[in-house]
Structure 1
Amino acid sequence: MTMTSRPLYLVTDRLDNTPAEFLRQIDAACRGGVDLIQLREKTVSSREYYKLAKSVKEITDRYQRPLLIDDRLDVAQAVDAAGVHLGQTDLPVAVARRILGPDKLIGATAKTLEQAQAAVAQGADYLGVGAIFPTTTHVQTVHTSVATLTAIRQAVPIPVYAIGGLNATNVAAVAPAGVAGVAVVSAIMKAANPEAAARALRQRVLTVIG
Structure 2
Amino acid sequence: MRDRPVPVDFRLNGILDGDRLAGRDLAALAAASVAGGVTLLQYRDKQAGTRAMVARARAIRAAAGDAVPLLVNDRVDVALAAGAAGVHLGREDMAPADARRLLGPRAIIGVTIKDESDLAALDPALVDYGCIGGVFVTGSKDNPDPPLGLAGLARLRQAASASGLPVGAIAGIDLETAAPCIAAGADGVALIAALYLAPDVAAEARAFRARIDAALAARGART
Question: Is the pair's TM-score, using the shorter chain for normalization, greater than 0.5?
Answer: yes
DSSP 3-state at the match of 1:169:
helix
Contact 2:110 2:128 in 1 (8 A): yes
DSSP 3-state at the match of 1:106:
strand
Aligned match of 2:181: 174
Show CA shifts across 1:163-195 (max 9, x none).
Answer: 111111122322332221111111111101101
> How far 1:60 moved relative to its partner?
1.8
Q: CA separation in 2, counterparts of 1:175 and 1:47?
A: 37
Match of 2:129 among 114, 126, 129: 126
DSSP 3-state at the match of 2:143:
coil
Aligned match of 2:150: 146
Q: Which moved more, 1:175-184 or 1:86-95?
A: 175-184
| CA RMSD between the two structures | 1.8
Q: CA separation in 2, counterparts of 1:189 and 1:39?
A: 12
1:163 aligns with 2:165: no
Q: Could you say if the C-alpha distance between residues 108 and 141 of structure 1 is closer, same or farther in structure 2, counting changes exceeding 3 Å?
A: farther
Contact 2:124 2:165 in 1 (8 A): no
> How far 1:55 moved relative to its partner?
0.4
Residue type matched to 1:43 in 2? Q
DSSP 3-state at the match of 2:31:
helix
Q: CA separation in 2, counterparts of 1:172 and 1:29?
A: 19
Q: CA separation in 2, counterparts of 1:112 and 1:6?
A: 20
Q: CA separation in 2, counterparts of 1:47 and 1:109?
A: 25
1:101 aligns with 2:104: yes
Q: Which moved more, 1:34-43 or 1:153-162?
A: 153-162
Q: Could you say if the C-alpha distance between residues 3 and 182 of structure 1 is closer, same or farther in structure 2, counting changes exceeding 3 Å?
A: farther
Q: CA separation in 2, counterparts of 1:108 and 1:85?
A: 6
Contact 1:131 1:141 in 2 (8 A): no
Aligned match of 2:23: 18
Q: Could you say if the C-alpha distance between residues 17 and 199 of structure 1 is closer, same or farther in structure 2, counting changes exceeding 3 Å?
A: same
DSSP 3-state at the match of 2:205:
helix
Percent same amino acid among aligned pairs? 34
Aligned match of 2:48: 44
Query: Normalising by structure 2, what TM-score?
Result: 0.86
Show CA shifts across 1:26-70 (max 9, x none).
Answer: 1111111101000001100000000000100101225x1100000
DSSP 3-state at the match of 1:135:
coil
Contact 2:10 2:189 in 1 (8 A): no
Match of 1:87 among 68, 72, 90: 90
Contact 1:113 1:148 in 2 (8 A): no
Show CA shifts across 1:129-154 (max 9, x none).
Answer: 01111112144363223233223322
